[in-house]
Chain A
């Protein structure tokens, strides 16, 4: 069984995001970029499935500029068998990404596709669902537990929904998107970083895959959320009550 995992290169989770002065987007130059945390979880899950003997190969895919190779190397250092890099400098929206994945699935024929539920940069939370739609595969989104039955070719997925946990059974091949509590991703150890250097990364362009990168979306403006005002120290209970009544209007 082969598992394909999407890994996206995003502004590091811990970096303080700054909006560009012209409001066209966020500053990404000279900013630390890392693998999207949900993608790390997706990859970790794929590796665990392989380590339990239920899969033989994990292929990591990243789509974007040339530096995505670094993200793929991280994935390979975590343990993916090989990588695929679809190089594109254009702005990528979920539908374009989903179309690229449809083509890659036709080429690679994986039995399972695991993605993060969303990327922390654009928070779209659409790609996994769109791929499932395009491929007409079943989907288990927001997974907090994944159990595979190789014989029956079924994946049982616990989904984190508002009411609690929903359990779904998916016939393979299927798409799974991962939530935060699914697992704790491993670190890249030095021996594995060394091994990762010799693992192959296959290159494609969207043109080679016959996918046209277009979007019906236009970003009008990106702005910072309003700044929180500084608090005040009140000198008496009366003043507090007065403020709650007349300024905050809560009592």
Chain B
């Protein structure tokens, strides 16, 4: 299986600069990152020794635990850093027990020796998120193969008050999938079986550890598609997707996972298995509790199985890459596209001129499809339908009309799949280009469309020429990815200018400070920018009810003041 993932991509970047500078492949092998992480980890361990004293060490997530490594020996300056957010101090909850040998033996009894990992080298990858911003110090990784095993593990951890962190593909961007301190990591990777697929209804039932891309290729053979697609598909797992309520590129067409997930099997903190694995579309019998597990980031239970409603694969896909002179044209174009392309519109993405420059400068193989002159904004429109001739006609008519109305200043229409992929690369390659450009501060925001780009402009004028502020994202969903790219991490100069400004601004405009990435550790304490006190209080009550010892993914999602 081809593993195309962001984590491997970093390894690839390093490798490609060292060994194969002309390698045109963007599909690195997943193992290429190991060299990177091991060297990195040695430095990390050294540092950790200096900083961590005693049991109840106070960790500042942005300050003393922070370091920058310019990897000169690899010839490229990938910035790494361990930090959370500006809010800073998190203390290990003293109520949690510390792992002892009896615990390990108990787990070995349940899982067998092979699936209980204590090897420090192997734990490095699971302790670190892919952006290398968050580092835990877990000493134990468990790899259950069945729901029953997950249940036994949790029952035991609950009775011992051992904190756990559920982990899927570990591609999260907010520090939600790695331990904060010494939590036991429960990896769902070994639960990767597809259980059933109904060709008539299109309902797929599978285990939580299935990698998104392998589900996609399974469905492709059956003539169906996943209603979810995102850049990390080569590594991320469906259980993690569900737990973070991942959004992605197709949301504008198929809606969020709250609509597409028909059923869930989850294990509660005390080991109870909740079988809600329905495969029917309509089910109005009492409270629809599965929704509690969609987007709660593993803080209420561990998702072990899911059933997903998948749409049939349609044969006609068309992609256009367009240039717009200003943000208001992009907005009008979206309005028009919804009217004129309605039933076939499957993606509406945008990137600003700064994002485009970044991709062209830092991503190998990126080619500007509209090179005639620089433009302020670019829009990627994808249509998916059942009849190529009529779909193409419809799209062409729409594009030509929009050009006459001056909404589009220039554009190209992919004539084959290869061209379509090269347009998508410009949009999907931005995160990778950002990693290559140096340090990056990432924000994932929902903002009413009308004001969305004002934030980017305000941020840009606030930071002046100290940083490259870029804006891109899922315009069709009102989701902005605001990224601040700088050569080096500099929290005093840069981060203090961004936060809390970005959160306050978003809150003022009634947006959400996390559109699709989740809160994780990074934004647990920021929840009040998007949710009222009463709402958060009810969340805390639900948490207390379902996980009274707070062993599930501690320090994340909910503000620390309410959970510790």
- Residues of A whose CB lies within 8 Å of any CB of B are 12-16, 30-32, 34-35, 37, 70, 74, 77-78, 184, 187-191, 193-194
Q: Chain B at the A interface: mostly helix, strand, loop or mixed?
A: mixed
In the assembled complex, the Cα of A14 lies from the Cα of B315 at a distance in Å of 13
Q: Please give the number of chain B residues whose Cβ is less than 8 angstroms from any Cβ of chain A in the complex.
A: 26
Contact A190 B416 (CB under 8 A): no
Which of B399, B414, B418 touches A190 (beta carbons < 8 Å)? B399
Stretch binding the partner chain, chosen from B102-110, B186-194, B404-412 = B404-412
Contact A12 B417 (CB under 8 A): yes
Q: Which of B322, B396, B421 has the most CB of A within 10 A?
A: B396
In the assembled complex, the Cα of A30 lies from the Cα of B316 at a distance in Å of 8
Say whether B415 faces chain A, with CB atoms less than 8 Å apart.
yes
Contact B415 A35 (CB under 8 A): yes
**Interfacial chain A residues near B220, Cβ < 8 Å:** 16
**Interfacial chain A residues near B367, Cβ < 8 Å:** 184
**Interfacial chain A residues near B399, Cβ < 8 Å:** 190, 193
Q: Which of B220, B410, B418 has the most CB of A within 10 A?
A: B418
Nearest chain B CB to A5's CB is how many angstroms away? 15
Which 3 A-B pairs have CB atoms at the shortest separation, nearest pair first? A34-B416, A14-B417, A187-B412
Closest-by-CB residue of B relative to A74 is B415
Say whether B152 faces chain A, with CB atoms less than 8 Å apart.
no
Would you give 26 A-B contacts (Cβ < 8 Å), ordered by A? A12-B417, A13-B417, A14-B417, A14-B421, A15-B417, A31-B315, A32-B316, A32-B388, A34-B416, A34-B417, A37-B416, A70-B389, A74-B415, A187-B412, A187-B414, A187-B415, A187-B419, A189-B370, A189-B412, A190-B322, A190-B410, A190-B412, A191-B410, A193-B399, A193-B413, A194-B403
Contact B417 A193 (CB under 8 A): no
Say whether B369 faces chain A, with CB atoms less than 8 Å apart.
yes
Say whether B27 faces chain A, with CB atoms less than 8 Å apart.
no
Contact A188-B413, Cβ < 8 Å, known A30-B315, A193-B396: yes
In the assembled complex, the Cα of A77 lies from the Cα of B415 at a distance in Å of 10
Contact A13 B416 (CB under 8 A): yes
Nearest chain A CB to B360's CB is how many angstroms away? 15
In the assembled complex, the Cα of A93 lies from the Cα of B252 at a distance in Å of 45
Contact A190-B400, Cβ < 8 Å, known A14-B421, A31-B315, A32-B315: yes
**Interfacial chain B residues near A14, Cβ < 8 Å:** 416-418, 421
In the assembled complex, the Cα of A190 lies from the Cα of B397 at a distance in Å of 10
Nearest chain A CB to B401's CB is how many angstroms away? 11
Nearest chain A CB to B252's CB is how many angstroms away? 22
Contact B415 A188 (CB under 8 A): yes
Contacts A187-B413, A190-B403, A190-B412 known; 5 new A-B pairs at CB < 8 A: A14-B418, A32-B388, A34-B416, A190-B399, A194-B403
Closest-by-CB residue of A relative to B313 is A30
Contact B417 A32 (CB under 8 A): yes
Nearest chain B CB to A203's CB is how many angstroms away? 18
Contact B403 A37 (CB under 8 A): no
Contact A13-B419, Cβ < 8 Å, known A187-B412, A190-B411: no
Contact B369 A187 (CB under 8 A): yes
Nearest chain A CB to B95's CB is how many angstroms away? 40
Closest-by-CB residue of A relative to B388 is A32
**Interfacial chain A residues near B418, Cβ < 8 Å:** 12-14, 37
In the assembled complex, the Cα of A201 lies from the Cα of B340 at a distance in Å of 29
